[in-house]
Structure 1
Amino acid sequence: MRFSLVVPTLNRQVEVEAFMQGLDRQTFRDFEVILVDQSGTDLFDDIVARYGRKWPVKHIRSDVRKPRHACNLGAREAVGKLIAFPDDDCIYEPDTLERVDAYFQKTDDQGFITGAVLNLDGAPTAMGRWLKQSQPLDRHSIWTGLIEFNFFMPRDLFEQVGGFDENLGPCTPFGSCEGPDLALRLMSAGAHGYHDRSLLVRHMDKSATINGARAYDYGTGMGYVLRKNHASMRTVLTFFIRPLGGTFLNLLRRKSDQATYFFRTLQGRLAGYFSTEARRIARHTPRENIS
């Protein structure tokens, strides 16, 4: 088996159906899907039965409603040489897996690869700032070059670093940046990363005016991961200054909703960076790979 695709989901039948339809259009077909179902219902039984006739589908039920716990749970059942963790509401382009396979064939299954994001209409995403060209990743560019649902790696490397940090992501105190954290730990273990602009996955755009609570929640994850992985002062200042600038710029433009979003993002990043948990784990994390 070449690919194991671990998909955590909770009550999103329509989205999972669309994801499976995208897989049915893949030009590369050597994969399994591990659906980690946190719904506690039989909502996905029909989807599992229908698509299980096309490729292997493992249906794992979990009582823990925590996406990165679900990823680690599903990964323990994976048999593919390569592993990925697509969101249940993303859609692969027809050549996504073919491109990933070609990359790892060329590199002898070393390191990891990530790519770009399109919205569901096929246009460039409005979700944040992203690298404009294909390039190797370092501990600074990882923050604008990686997205969790378009992130592929050898399964043995994922297992070597202990999988996802389950204290990160939705339903945790630190609500984002599980992907950068995993990638930074892969780099610390000696893996190289690459951002391929032609490796595309579709995902619904998130509103630029998400509420302040969610902005704060996302911010705490970034702050925690920056501190945990001993980010350089250049990286820390970059991601503290940007929301500060966004706050003042939008106040001058009298865009109060946007100003609130940037301010709450800054508050969250500061809270995560200076949290007791971030300080504690940073003391026990080696510093030799600081960029």
Structure 2
Amino acid sequence: MKFSLIVATKNRVNQVDRFLRSLTTQGDENFEVIIVDQNLDNRLSDVVSRYTQQFPITHIKLETPGTSRARNRGLVLAKGDIIAFPDDDCVYPPGFLTKVSHFFADSTWDGLTVRVMELEGDRDAFDYCLQESGKVDYVTGVSVGIGPSMFFRSHSAKKVAFDEDMGPGMTWVGGEDTDYLLRCLDCDAAIYYNFDLFVRHPRPNDIYSIRQLIRREFTYGRGYGYLMRKRNAPWTYVTWELLIPFWLAVKYVLIGKFRDALTCPGMGIARIIGYWEGIQKFKGGNYHEFEVRSN
């Protein structure tokens, strides 16, 4: 069973090197790497050259920015049975691809999502994850639709393209991964979440300054607000998701987590902005329906 690993990247070299190095510890060598390089220079040439001697790498340049656009380009080129979208700064633990291969070989699931944990240690990288394995539906998909955690059989992955208005480099920075997974559900893909498998990813709180974190939560919050309108989320859901950042700000202040509290108001405001922008864009019709039910 062959994997196609589509890596969209810009402005990173050491992180790409770290990810490719993690692929040398997989045991399962039946994979190809498709690097969609959005750098205007050749900063990745030496790294790619070093690993090309160990496994197949297709290195293409894409001058037009956008993670979603880059992943769509990779999807066209992918030849594997299983397609994945690792972030350029994530890491696969030793033997991880062998376990994923066994999962698909022993089941009929169309897709798999796994936990995303910090680079070292036992915490979740993004401070949220489902705590038990099970079938993914339209509600749980919002929690597990994280780019580096998703794996799909080729026939399911190629039915859906990433929304090129969403994702880093585009108007709405966040939400593109979740949107992709939800639209796979729209196409009747059966997706499983495995709590016991995980990839690793830097924790934002460990690598960004408070100013960078505030900016990050604002941009991703705007994308999530837009996603809720795009999926026509019910008002009860929208109201809760718009209010919860402000509730979290109060909670963090009360327990003394002032650094975490500082990021929440911007996130809440951004969700409102993104949702309003979605209203303006989708006047007269819904892009996709959001369904609060099991798939």
Pick aligned residue for 1:243 from 239, 242, 245: 245
With over 3 angstroms needed to count, the CA separation of the structure-2 counterparts of 1:44 and 1:228, relative to structure 1, is: same
- Written as runs of structure 1 = structure 2, the 5 A alignment for 1:101-140 is 101-108=101-108, 110-140=109-139
Give 1:146's aligned amino acid: G
Q: Distance in 1 between matches of 2:196 and 2:259?
A: 34
Give the distance between the partners of 2:181 and 2:32, measured in 1 at CA: 23
Distance 1:218 1:288 in 2: 19
Q: Kindly indicate whether the alpha-carbon contact (under 8 Å) linking 1:226 and 1:236 is maintained by their aligned counterparts in 2.
A: yes
**Match among 218, 221, 224 for residue 220 of structure 2:** 218
Question: CA–CA distance in 2 between the matches of 1:265 and 1:153?
Answer: 30
1:288, distance to aligned residue in structure 2 (A)? 7.9
1:146 is aligned to 2:145: yes
The whole-number CA distance in structure 1 between the counterparts of 2:170 and 2:279 is: 13
| 1:185 aligned onto 2:183 | yes
| Superposition map of 1:171-210 within 5 A | 171-207=169-205, 209=210, 210=212
1:31, distance to aligned residue in structure 2 (A): 0.4
Unaligned runs of 5+ in 1: none
Fraction of identical pairs, as percent = 30
How many residues are aligned here? Answer: 289
Match of 2:90 in 1: 90
**SS of the counterpart of 1:149?**
helix
- CA deviation digits over 1:124-157, x for unaligned, max 9? 2242321111121111111222321111012222
After TM superposition, the structure 1 = structure 2 runs for residues 14-163 of structure 1, keeping only pairs within 5 Å, are 14-108=14-108, 110-161=109-160, 163=161
* In structure 2, distance between residues paired with 1:49 and 1:261: 40
1:200-232 deviations in whole A, cap 9, x for unaligned?
A: 111111018454332111101111111111223
Structural mapping, 1:273-288, within 5 Å: 273-276=275-278, 279-280=281-282, 283-287=285-289
Aligned match of 2:233: 231
Give unmatched runs, 5+ long, in structure 2: none
SS of 1:59's equivalent?
Answer: strand
Evaluate the alpha carbon distance shift between residue 25 and residue 196 of structure 1 in structure 2; reply closer, same or farther with a 3 A threshold.
Answer: same
Structure 2 length-normalised TM:
0.89
Which residue does the alignment assign to 2:3? Answer: 3
Q: Residue 169 of structure 2 aligns to which amino acid in structure 1?
A: C
**Could you tell me which amino acid in structure 2 is paired with residue 269 of structure 1?**
R
- Aligned-pair Cα RMSD in Å: 2.2
* Partner amino acid, structure 2, of 1:121: E
**Which range moved further: 278-287 or 92-101?**
278-287
* Separation in structure 1 between the aligned mates of residue 288 and residue 252 of structure 2, nearest angstrom: 39
The answer to which of 117-126 and 63-72 deviates more is: 117-126
CA 1:89–1:276 in 2, change beyond 3 Å: closer, same or farther?
A: closer
- Amino acid corresponding to residue 137 of structure 1 in structure 2: V
Tell whether the 8 Å contact from 2:139 to 2:292 is kept in structure 1 after alignment. no
The whole-number CA distance in structure 2 between the counterparts of 1:44 and 1:31 is 20
